[in-house]
Structures are given as C-alpha cells and as structure tokens.
Amino acid sequence: MLVAALLLGGGASWLGDTSVQLLCLPLLVLAAVEWQQQRWAASDWAPLALLTGIVLLGAVQLAPLSPGFWVSLPGRSQLLVDMHAVGQTPAWYALSLDPFATERALQGLLPVVALLFATRWMSERQLRVMLMVLFATTLFLVAFGVSQKSAPASDVVATVNETIARNNLVLNTLGDQGPSTAPAVPDFGFGVYSNRNHFATLLALSIPLAFAGALAAWSRRRKDGKPGLPALSVAYLLVLGGLLAGILETRSRAGFLLGAAVLVAALAMLRGMGLKRKLVWGIVAGVVVAGSAAVLIAGSDTLTRFDQSAGPDLRWKLHATTLDAAKHFGALGSGLGTFVEAYQQVPPREGILPAYVNHAHGDYHEVWLEAGWPGMLLVMGFLGWYLYASARVWLRSGSAASDLPARAASIAIAVVLVHGYMEYPLRKSAILAAMGLLCGLLQAGAQRNLSVAAMSEIQPQARDGALLPGGKVEAP
C-alpha cells in the first residue's frame, strides 16, 4: 500500500487514489486484528478520538436538513435564489455543498488511518523494512525525475512526461492575458507528482528518517564495541545524499528551504548519544560541508528561482479570498471537499485570479473554509497530540537507537505541518500515507517511553515476564 501510494497518489489521477484506498481496506482489517491482541494504552485514545471526531464531522455534514433550516445557514440563501432561477424546487439538503465530494474527502483519509494503525504495532525490524521501502521508492522517483530533465529516451517516457504535464495545474503570475494553462513538458524533475512542492515535501520528510537510520546502525555497532561505520550506516548516508539531490532537482524553493532546515534539525538527534564533543562537532561540520557542496552542485537552475521577480505570489490572494469565503459560509463551513464550489461564491479580494482554482494552497485555510470551527478544533487537537508525543520522545533522559525513528518522525511531521501553510500536501494520498507512517512511528515511540516508565516501577523479579507482540513485557 505504501509503494502504491508513493507511486500513484502524488498526481491528479482519480484511478490512482482509488487504487490506494482499496489497498487500505485489507491493511485496516489486519491492523484491527492485531490491535485486538495487544494491550491498548491511554495515549492510544488520542489519535482514535481525533479520527472519531473527523467521522462525526463528516456525518453531520452529510445529514439531510429541512429546507427551512438549511436556508438559515450562512451562505445558503443566495444559493436558494440561484436554485429558483434554474427552476429547482426546495428539498432536503445536506450541510455540505457537495455531499459526494465530502464522501470522497473522507475516503481520502484511508491511507493515513491504515498506516497509522499498522505502524503502531510493528516490531523494530518491521519498521526498518518499512523505512527501506520508503527510501527505495523515493529514490526511484528521484531517478525518474532526473530522467524528465533530459531528452526523452523513448516514446514511452515522452508520453508519460506529457501526461504528467497535462495533469499539472500551474498558477502563473497573471497579466493582461490571464492565466497560462498551456501544458508543456517540465524542465524540472518531480517524478510522477503533479506538483513539484509536494514531491519536495516527500523528499524533505525522508531526510531525518535516513539520518536516524545511519545513527541507529552506528549506535548498535558502537554498543557491540566495534569501531568504524557499518555498511548499513553508509547506505543510509547515500540515501540521504540522493534525497538532497532530488530536492535540488525539483527546483522547489519551499523544498530547498525545508530540506536545509530539516537537515539542521536532524542534528538534534545527536543529543543523548553519549558522543564526545569533538565527534559531535565533526558530524556537524560534515553536514555543513555536504550541504554546501549540494548547493554548489545545484548550480543556477535552482538558486535563480529565488531571484525571479515574477511579482507577488498568488497564494496570498488565494488565502485572502479563501478566508472571505470561510466568513461567508459561517462557523460550520461549506463541507469537506467543497473548496472549488465554495471559493467561487465570493469575488476575489484583489486582482484577477483564475476562473478555476483547485485548492487554497494552504491546508489550514482550506480546512477553515470546508469544516469551520469544528475542523479547526480537530486541527488544534492533532497539534496538541503531536506536541505531547514529541515531548515524550525528546525529553526522555538518555537515548537509545530505538528512540531515533520516533524523534526523526517528529521532525518529519513538522515539515508537513509547516509546508501546509503555503501548500496542500495533505490533499495527496502519497503524503497522507507518509504522514500515517510518521504518526505511527511517533505514537509507538511515545508509548515505548510510557512503557519504560511503567516498567521502572515493577519489582526486578517481575521484569522477566513473557514478551508480548510489539515488544511489550507482561509481568508474570
């Protein structure tokens, strides 16, 4: 399912998203069976409560409402006038402007739910395999993205490039002629993704995971008293270099900044490793040198995008108009997945914008419009869980190799949350699947910390009990 999501869930293909969602169903069944055999913890109820809140929100938005109550909701009276104009009689309507779109939006959450549930109970070995699958797939996408920049080697590659370009909605700076919608074969690499920023987000969130893998393998070797870097650490470092190169190939400004920031943040995982100060500074210097070399290798193709004087970014205008639309539809929103319909109900605040805008290029703005205050409360609840779980894995005294994936996941989740202010990465199945994997890693790490704290209070003779699946110990 993860491979399918990364390969098929980054574009604008309905078939790709549907295929990924169908693959989620057996995974959810297997995860549910596993959960029945495990011991639930108090912290597990937080993500379950958030998911329940999302389902309830969708149910409320899909419930039929009487015509009198429906027309009393903000933004519906003008819609009723339009209905009368085309001869449509009042009937029982849902709160959502497009119930079918709301159903699709709820189905789109299956990747994050499936991987969250599955990852939560994986063993450390299974998690390492999952991460290797993630790295192998992303590096394959990087290689394909690089091939897009060169002359097509065959008619098949040319056809794929043209198809991807046609599916890519590019919002250019507007002039007197209006937006440019003519498809063109891209001069940058973004794999099979319809947006280079989304592809860069996937690569950026993988950076701390690769760094954590290299540190974990090295830590296990040091624990065994063996000098030098193990081959696995070298492999992870090569993966890290490939991810950095891929970000530069996308020519995404957001990806460039996020990649640099996350690489620096990953150095925080050195804390508590018991390393000598000189060795720590040596690693920091190595990262700085590697990053500088990557910038030099990138050349002007990537760096000149920061100097482009293409006028103001359309995202700010989209955000302003989206907030106007959110005010127009009130505290309950317009319905999940109804951004296109809701956005067209209000005039642009300034300037001329494209007649069709698919997303607000800001996940938080779009949630506010579609889900209103209930949606924003769910967002705040997720942020609260994220901060609590991150505090558990970062503030624990000491460190072990098993803590590194959870710490890396907390950094990677921050990449998606930050980029979500200026883009819509969580509207893609690929990023949703990666987010489910990251949340599962973080939840498992936080729960491991809680389990260790609980075990410290058990008498020594009770610590030699039976080992349960998932690494838990049951006292005899």
Alpha carbons 77 and 325: distance in angstroms, whole number: 15
Alpha carbons 217 and 171: distance in angstroms, whole number: 44
**Mean pLDDT (the chain, rounded):** 77
Q: Residue 418: is its pLDDT beyond 90?
A: yes
Alpha carbons 377 and 54: distance in angstroms, whole number: 10
Q: Residue 12: is its pLDDT beyond 50?
A: yes
pTM: 0.82
pLDDT band (50, 70, 90) for residue 370? very high
Most confident of 75-79, 161-165, 202-206: 202-206
Average pLDDT over residues 121-137: 88
Alpha carbons 52 and 55: distance in angstroms, whole number: 5
Average pLDDT over residues 99-124: 89
How much is the pLDDT for 470? 45
Residue identified by tokens 């999302």 is: 54
- Express each pLDDT in 191-204 by its tens digit: 678 788 888 899 99
Q: Residue 367: is its pLDDT beyond 90?
A: yes
Domain residues of the chain, as ranges? Answer: 2-454
Q: Which residue has the higher pLDDT, 32 or 27?
A: 27
Q: Residue 387: is its pLDDT beyond 90?
A: yes
Q: Residue 455: is its pLDDT beyond 90?
A: no
Average pLDDT over residues 127-135: 91
Q: Which residue has the higher pLDDT, 435 or 281?
A: 435
- Express each pLDDT in 50-70 by its tens digit: 989 999 999 999 999 888 888
Q: Residue 8: is its pLDDT beyond 80?
A: yes
How much is the pLDDT for 264? 86
